[in-house]
């Protein structure tokens, strides 16, 4: 969330940022309501001063043994006016909040300005697609022939866009999770947590999924709880409404969770295989840092995610997202896309984002400066390290052989227990 004072003092900047993110918010109405709120607050302060004056008069009259009925009457009238104004202030503040929660975070000045994902900027590539003397198959053919992913049975159990991993396929999924967690813990120094897979509205609001993305989420209506779309939500909320010590920062968490997304607006796209499914596994990285180092930490976060693909020897590219493709809460974001030769596409396996103080302000996550004793909002970051379905796609398509087998990357062999999937 953006600070109301900041919006008031930087209205044109906020308008430009909102337009660049292709969001529609009535900022002029917000400023009008903010003016009303401040006028009401000034009026209430004046009445409170008047109430104090009348209260002193009552005390003086009582000391003199005189009748204080007149100032008591006036004080009661003032108190009634204050109560009425307080109700008006609450009504106006609710209207302000109802607009304010739809205002997106401001993109970083370096973020490319664009109108669609076509304006995203490729900033690097790593690795080369393996040379094959045969036509590579799409991953769903490879997986079905090996019997490691059962698309029909997943759909039978839960519906379209759900899958069942079977045999060595299930073990490959588990191996990737363990490999990624161990990698981030032992080589990058992250602290592992295992958070709830279901969260309340306040948690979803803190990280920016609500109110904008509610239709894309799975909701358990009886309890008003959401299945998490990403571990970013519960892990970021671990420190909601807390004041951290400066020497605790940076805090680096990693977590495995399943993720659940209805993706209501995505039907008709990527209908085959594992490219777009409603339940998937992911290993996440979340950072809580001091504001002055958050962009250095973003580069570190990106490098940590890239390192997973490098260890798996999968070719990838890094994309910096333009303003129109940035998420609601992000100020700057890099996507990592892995190459899948069977479907001949670059597939996103990680998004590494800096939210600056946007999520922290929503969730009231602060730290206390040792030098001043004052509290400030932390900056939060998160990145996938990595999302598994498309990593599995890349493994099956890049490591397939003309014999119909799949070579297991060396980094995974001790986790999977075999060198070749047959």
CB–CB of 404/145 below 8 Å? Answer: yes
Closest C-alpha to 216, from 253, 181, 263, 156: 263
What pLDDT is stored for residue 267 in this prediction? 56
Mean pLDDT in residue range 232-243: 98
CB–CB of 395/410 below 8 Å? Answer: no
Is 350 marked active-site? no
Mean pLDDT in residue range 1-11: 95
What pLDDT is stored for residue 81 in this prediction? 92
What pLDDT is stored for residue 67 in this prediction? 86
**Any idea where the domains of the chain sit in the sequence?**
4-100, 117-421
Per-residue pLDDT band at 264 (split at 50, 70, 90):
low
Closest C-alpha to 29, from 10, 17, 11: 11
Q: pTM here?
A: 0.93
Mean pLDDT in residue range 339-367: 98
Closest C-alpha to 311, from 380, 219, 410, 407: 410
Q: How far apart are CA 21 and CA 265, in angstroms?
A: 18
Is 261 marked active-site? yes
What pLDDT is stored for residue 39 in this prediction? 97
Active-site pick, 37, 261, 262, 362? 261
* Residue 303 Rama label (left phi>0; alpha psi -120 to 50; beta): alpha
Active-site pick, 240, 276, 311, 317? 276
Residue corresponding to tokens 């495995």: 256
Per-residue DSSP letter, 203 = H
What pLDDT is stored for residue 51 in this prediction? 86
CATH architecture of 117-421: 2-Layer Sandwich (3.30)
| Tens digit of each residue's pLDDT (9 = 90 or more) over 45-90 | 999 888 888 888 888 888 888 888 887 888 888 899 999 999 999 9
Residue corresponding to tokens 């009504």: 91
What pLDDT is stored for residue 322 in this prediction? 98
DSSP for 259-312 reads EE---TT-TTSS-STTSS-SEEEEEEEEEEE-GGGHHHHHHHHHHHHHHHHHHH
Is 351 marked active-site? yes
Q: Does the fold of domain 117-421 match that of domain 4-100?
A: no
Which range is least confidently modeled, 47-56, 169-178, 206-215, 392-401? 47-56
Mean pLDDT in residue range 353-369: 98
Is 371 marked active-site? no
| Tens digit of each residue's pLDDT (9 = 90 or more) over 372-382 | 999 999 999 99
Active-site pick, 203, 350, 351, 384? 351
Tell me the fold of 4-100.
Helix Hairpins (1.10.287)
Active-site pick, 201, 348, 368, 376? 348
What pLDDT is stored for residue 198 in this prediction? 98
């Amino acid at each position: 969330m953006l600070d109301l004072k900041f919006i008031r003092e930087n209205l044109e900047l906020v308008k430009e940022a909102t337009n660049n993110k292709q969001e529609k918010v009535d900022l002029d109405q917000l400023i009008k309501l903010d003016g009303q709120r401040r006028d009401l607050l000034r009026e209430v302060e004046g009445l409170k001063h008047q109430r104090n004056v009348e209260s002193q008069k009552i005390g003086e009259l009582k000391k003199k043994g005189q009748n204080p009925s007149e100032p008591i009457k006036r004080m009661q009238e003032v108190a009634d006016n204050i109560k009425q104004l307080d109700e008006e202030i609450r009504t106006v503040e609710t209207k302000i909040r109802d607009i304010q929660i739809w205002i997106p975070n401001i993109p970083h000045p370096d973020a490319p300005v664009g109108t669609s994902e076509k304006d995203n900027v490729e900033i690097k590539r790593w690795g080369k697609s393996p040379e094959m003397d045969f036509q590579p198959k799409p991953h769903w053919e490879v997986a079905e022939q090996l019997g490691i992913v059962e698309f029909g049975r997943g759909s039978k159990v839960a519906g379209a866009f759900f899958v069942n991993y079977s045999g060595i396929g299930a073990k490959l999924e588990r191996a990737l999770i363990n490999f990624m967690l161990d990698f981030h813990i032992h080589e990058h120094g992250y602290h592992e947590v295992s958070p709830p897979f279901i969260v309340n509205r306040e948690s979803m609001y803190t990280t920016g999924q609500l109110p904008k993305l509610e239709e894309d989420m799975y909701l358990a209506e009886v309890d008003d709880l959401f299945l998490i779309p990403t571990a970013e939500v519960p892990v970021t909320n671990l420190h909601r409404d807390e004041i951290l010590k400066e020497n605790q920062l940076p805090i680096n968490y990693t977590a495995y969770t399943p993720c659940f997304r209805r993706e209501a607006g995505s039907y008709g796209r990527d209908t085959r295989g594992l490219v777009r499914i409603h339940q998937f596994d992911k290993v996440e990285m979340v950072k809580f840092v001091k504001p002055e180092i958050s962009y250095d930490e973003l580069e570190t976060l990106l490098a940590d995610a890239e390192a997973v693909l490098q260890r798996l020897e999968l070719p990838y590219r890094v994309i910096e997202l333009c303003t129109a493709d940035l998420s609601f809460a992000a100020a700057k974001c890099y996507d990592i896309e892995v190459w899948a030769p069977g479907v001949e596409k670059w597939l996103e396996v990680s998004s590494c984002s800096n939210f600056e103080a946007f999520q922290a302000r929503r969730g009231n996550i602060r730290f206390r400066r040792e030098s001043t004793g004052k509290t400030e909002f932390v900056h939060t970051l998160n990145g996938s390290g990595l999302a598994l379905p498309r990593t599995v796609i890349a493994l099956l398509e890049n490591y397939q052989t003309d014999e119909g087998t799949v070579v297991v990357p060396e980094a995974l062999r001790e986790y999977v227990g075999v060198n070749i999937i047959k």
